Amino acid sequence: MSLQAYQQAATRAETPRETEYRLFAQVTLALMDAAKCDPKDVRGRIDALDWNRRVWSVLGTACADPDNALPESLRAAIISLSIWVGKHTSEVIRRKEEIEPLIEVNRMIMQGLRGDGRAAAA
């Protein structure tokens, strides 16, 4: 079975919540790798930070849609987090802040997506 066929089968079998969890796991692992990489590897660090910022930007935009079915308070919280992630990411790129808070926020989101109270495995 080819990798593409496996990915298509996995996508069809996943719930939206599982897909979101998998995305957060992937981007969080990229952030964790970026946190450990050589400070001279600016490209790898910025790629991971940019990917995370884009994920959060899409979430914030989706939550701003009036047709979004999530409760209004949850949508507002996600939009606020999206704004914070964008600002904090800029500070991390400028080396004025650390990357770890971004990782922790993603882990908390993963924990919520998992829904069973277990800590995120990333």
Following DSSP, what letter does each residue of 4-46 receive, concatenated? HHHHHHHHHHS-HHHHHHHHHHHHHHHHHHHHHS-TT-HHHHH
119, pLDDT greater than 50: no
Question: Rounded to an integer, what is the distance from CA 84 to the centroid of its chain?
Answer: 13
- What would the pLDDT profile of 54-98 be if each residue is shown by its tens digit? 999 999 999 999 999 999 999 999 999 999 999 999 999 999 999
Give pTM, 2 decimals.
0.82
pLDDT score of 11: 58
The token pair that represents 68 in the structure block: 């979004």
> In 10 A of CB 102, how many CB atoms?
25
- What would the pLDDT profile of 13-44 be if each residue is shown by its tens digit? 889 999 999 999 999 999 999 999 887 788 98
pLDDT score of 37: 86
pLDDT score of 115: 82
Phi-psi region of 96 (alpha: psi -120 to 50; beta: other; left: phi over 0): alpha
Per the CB < 8 A criterion, the answer to whether 21 and 120 are in contact is: no
99, pLDDT greater than 60: yes
